Amino acid sequence: MPTVLAILAEGFEEIEAITPIDLLRRAGVEVTIAALAEGIHVTGRCGLTMHATTTLAAVPFTTYDCLFLPGGPGVKHLRASERVRELVRTHFDAGRLLAAICAAPTVLHDAGLLEGRRFTAHFSVAEELPNLLSEHRVVLDSTILTSRGAGTALDFGLAMVEQLCGQETAGRIKQSISA
């Protein structure tokens, strides 16, 4: 069973976190939700509070099949975390999937992983990431999967399912939620 570590910081964008997590779990993926801060309750930008599985500090420094970073105003906390940078680098070096949506590709940029790669992100970070492909909803370049924002969260989540579980499973999940 594929494994995903989703890291939530205060101010995360709820749709960008919940939609992919829901789709991954429908596909049978084991998703660990780790709160960046000390407690296991994390409040998103619209005031919804998620109950995380654990805290990031309590997660063993192991490699999951995918490291998932939702966007939103909370990305500033992800960017400030040395632990997050270490995990991003470890996953990249191991050839594991890195998935970042909205402003979260800036975390990958900070780790030096976007140079010479195709990627997208939210228009609000276009000045910082001038090479982003703004017309694309989801971009996969090797093991880096990026997406634009809340409006592309469903496409992004299905792309994660496809990368981890295959095209057939992604198609089945897509059909099951479209009926």
Structural domain includes residue 140: no
Which domain range does residue 174 map to?
A: 3-97+149-178
pTM: 0.96
Q: Supply 175's token pair.
A: 């059909």
Q: Is 102 tagged catalytic?
A: yes
**CATH code of the domain covering residue 81:** 3.40.50.880
The active-site residue, picked from 46, 66, 102, 165, is: 102
Give tens-digit pLDDT for 133-142.
999 999 999 9
d(CA 55, CA 50): 12
Q: What is the pLDDT of residue 96?
A: 96
The residue type at 170:
A
- Write out residues in the chain with pLDDT < 50, as ranges: none
Structural domain includes residue 87: yes
Structural domain includes residue 114: no
Q: What is the pLDDT of residue 62?
A: 74
Structural domain includes residue 12: yes
Tracing tokens 């400030």 back to the chain, one arrives at 80
Structural domain includes residue 119: no
Structural domain includes residue 170: yes
User: Which of these, 67, 57, 59, 78, lies nearest to 12 by C-alpha position?
Assistant: 78
DSSP 132: -
Q: What is the pLDDT of residue 179?
A: 64
Q: What is the pLDDT of residue 60?
A: 83
Q: What is the pLDDT of residue 109?
A: 97
Number of domains in the chain: 1
Structural domain includes residue 133: no
